[in-house]
Structure 1
Amino acid sequence: SPATATWSSTWAVSGVIVVESVEYRCGQQEQSSQHDKLKVIKKSCDGKKTCDIDIQIFGTPDPGTCKYLDTTFACFPAVHSTACEGSTANLRCDEGEVSVVYWADYGRRDTTTCSQSRPTHEIQNSQCPNPTTKVADSCNGKSSCTIEASNSVFGDPCPGTYKYLDVVYDCELHTVACEGSQANLHCDDGHVIAVHWANYGRRDTSTCSYQRPECEVQNAQCANPTSKVADSCNGKSSCTIEASNTEFGDPCPGTYKYLEVAYDCPCECLQDCFTNLIP
């Protein structure tokens, strides 16, 4: 059998699609399950720079009906990393920045990626999308992160097919506030806060550990992602939020916690989502 590849690549792209919502309607009448349609379109379009959707994948409209597909999506500047099965994906950010994973997929979505020296039958199945949150769970909020592209990590979505791990991520500003203090987010004039990730808990033993007893910092398995910072701060030019159990609850009693926030400052004119209407 062919040798296991150890190839991976990372490159910057101007922007990638992340689909947020889908509605398939006739006037104000909703047509069947929107959740199922969202899953289909996200599998087809997330992580790509362009994407065409044929609405007939949802069935052929009856003559004279007025069905249309209303898709809301965002375009994010991002770094694209690909790791062939058996190799590792390496996410890296500059000092003072951390990774925020927008999208990841372990499977096969074309016949060319990671195809060198592979037999045809291992790469011909290009209908094997397999979106995963495991990369985000492992790497969000870290300045560097390595994750193996393997069935042992992600499962095997298509046995017999040689797969690869695609990751789309960006590096964002990072602020940390120890429990009992405040996180201060600030953007320059004409720009607003866009929080991509926040966590109140403890993910290592060194952050916010100065003069704390060992028993309060040894629990590094207290990840507690929260949307409260985004709810409070998105769209503002500056924002202050307290790192406290009162604000976020206590995910690990007895552990001294801290609030981490990854955010950027897009132009104020870009804060609204884009809407693409397909007649």
Structure 2
Amino acid sequence: MLHLSTTLVLAVTCVLLSSGVATETVLTCNIDTVHRLSCDNGVISVQAAMYGREDKDTCSEGRPQSQLANTACSQEGTTDILKKRCDGKRVCEVSVDVFGTPDPCVGISKYIQTKYTCLPAIHQVTCEHSLAHLQCDEGQVISIYGATYGRYDQTTCIYGRPASQIQKIDCSRHASSVADSCNGKNSCTIRASNSVFGDPCVGTYKYLELAYICEYPSTLLEETAVLDVVSTEKVITCSNSQNVQRLSCDIGVISVQAAMYGRADNETCSEGRPRSQLNNTECSQEGTADVLKKRCDGKRECELNLNVVQTSNPCPGITKYLETTYTCLPAIHFDTCEGSLAILQCDEGQVIVVYGADYGRRDKTTCIYKRPASQINRVNCSSPTGKVADSCNGKNSCTIRASNSVFGDACGGTYKYLEVAYICEYPGVTPQQLAKH
């Protein structure tokens, strides 16, 4: 696992905050579906959460007035429950059954609304029976954001483990003893074991997940460095029906600047090729950049087979390649599970600019909480959509439903999600100019 230094994490976060990353709001109307919080950079810090109803308009579509009448309906302790389950994690998925307390208003149509921020932190996962080692620079001390012990998924700490030991998930518990043992120390070692944390799921192989920062005693975190997270990358993939081109951003999201499918010189991808297949160096297919932008802009990673790009043959008999230049731009990136509302929000005076949006399913790890395997097995059925940009660009805030009725059904029978990346900018300022500040 890659661990960034605290200075680097803070610097990255300062840049992202200057690009409009602030408080996120997740609103889930269908309480039987998945409520998902996530952070691309840093970890979740729940600010407020409400399960109930506060007005007659939110999540009111198709509901009779009798189910909207009580606008002072909220369950006590919702924020505390979300904080215990989600603080310090990069991704947190829950459903209404986690609240486990009586219905706050029987007969009223309720919703879950959570406001959270993504705080800079060192995030660490330690498999059961191993030691978690927390270390700060000289003069700094540890401050724990959150820690849990147990198992939340079937992808972490699974190497060489039988299926029976990783099947049970959603059996983690808050590990407050990490903060008790490590807060205020320069370094700290703690064992990920049942003897320390108890056994929240007998027979399951568990792990300790924690997030912490390093800070100077009795001081607030300050902006300690300036880091330009905008970088330009170039990827070249030689033409072959089996070859895959992969674009990815560790920080921020992809913004394709240029793409060329064809041949611009006689050296690139020339190994083993006769000169006759290299002599046309002014060969390029029109529209290649548009294809790449539609598929990849706004994503953290994007993989595509060259067959997708080959809309024509710009030069028969010539060996071609795909060359893509892209940048990683700071952006607000989130996934909204099907049946929930995606809320895009900027600070006062700023407007939304959508980088990209997709609706469907691209993996087996997003929006899966308590979903049967049959609803998450089909992947690679996500389609780019311009409807988010059409609805939200230029607005200060925007709400759009992640549903088939809005985006169509990209994969019937599969539980889907809406993936969106956007920035907040002052009108008249370009994303590239904003990213430099």
Shift of 1:183: 1.3
Cross-structure match for 2:381? 222
Cα distance change of structure 1 residues 144 and 115 upon mapping to structure 2, 3 Å threshold? closer
Task: State the match for 1:174 in structure 2.
Answer: 333
For 2:361, the aligned partner's letter is R
Q: Please give the secondary structure, in 1, of the residue aligned with 2:280.
A: coil
Partner of 2:31: none
Identity of aligned residues (%): 45
> Which residue identity is paired with 1:126?
T
TM-superposed deviation, 1:254: 2.5
SS in 1 for 2:342: strand
User: 5 Å matches for 1:125-204?
Assistant: 125-130=280-285, 131-132=287-288, 135-136=292-293, 139=296, 142-146=299-303, 154=310, 156-171=313-328, 172-204=331-363
Structure with greater Cα Rg: 2
User: For residues 124 and 227 of structure 1, do their structure 2 counterparts lie closer, same or farther at Cα, with a shift above 3 Å needed?
Assistant: same
Alpha-carbon contact 2:280-2:318 (below 8 Å) kept: yes
Alpha-carbon offset, residue 269 of structure 1 = 1.1
Is 1:94 matched with 2:94?
A: no
Q: CA deviation at 1:253?
A: 3.4
Counterpart selection for 1:111 from 241, 265, 269: 265
For structure 2, list consecutive stretches of 5 or more residues without a partner in the other structure: 1-229, 431-437
Q: Which runs of 5 or more structure 1 residues have no equivalent in the other structure?
A: 1-76, 272-279
Per-residue deviation, 1:80: 4.7
List per-residue Cα deviations over 1:113-132 (Å, max 9, x = no partner): 73888886554423211143
- How far apart are 1:145 and its partner, in Å? 3.8
For 1:261, what is the secondary structure of its paired residue?
Answer: strand
CA distance in 1, matches of 2:367, 2:269: 46
Query: 1:185, 1:239 within 8 Å by CA — same for their partners in 2?
Result: yes
The number of equivalent residue pairs is 193
Which deviates more from structure 2 when the two are superposed, residues 129-138 or residues 252-261? 129-138
Which letter does structure 1 place at the counterpart of 2:359? Y
Distance 1:205 1:185 in 2: 25
DSSP 3-state at the match of 2:399? strand
Residue in structure 2 matched with residue 85 of structure 1 by the alignment: 238
One-letter amino acid of the counterpart of residue 239, structure 1: C
Greater RCO between the two (CA within 8 Å, min separation 6)? 1
Q: Using the alignment, how far apart are the partners of 1:169 and 1:267 within structure 2?
A: 23
Alpha carbons of 1:191 and 1:121: their partners in 2 closer, same or farther (altered >3 Å)?
farther
Q: CA deviation at 1:260?
A: 0.8
TM-score of the two chains, using structure 1 as the length reference: 0.55
SS in 2 for 1:193: strand
Return the letter of the residue paired with 2:248.
R
Answer yes or no: is the 8 Å Cα contact 1:81–1:89 preserved in 2: no
Shift of 1:220: 1.5
Displacement of 1:251 after TM fit? 3.3
Cα distance change on mapping 1:137 and 1:233 into 2, 3 Å: closer
Residue 368 of structure 2 is aligned to residue 209 of structure 1: yes
Contact 1:80 1:166 in 2 (8 A): no
1:234 aligns with 2:393: yes
1:158-202 CA distances to partner (integer Å, 9 max, x unpaired)?
244343322133434321111121212233444321112212222
Deviations for 1:215-274, whole angstroms, at most 9, x for unmatched residues? 221221422322211111001222221212333333333221111112223431147xxx
- CA distance in structure 2 between the partners assigned to 1:270 and 1:243 by the alignment: 29
Which range is displaced more, 205-214 or 195-204? 195-204
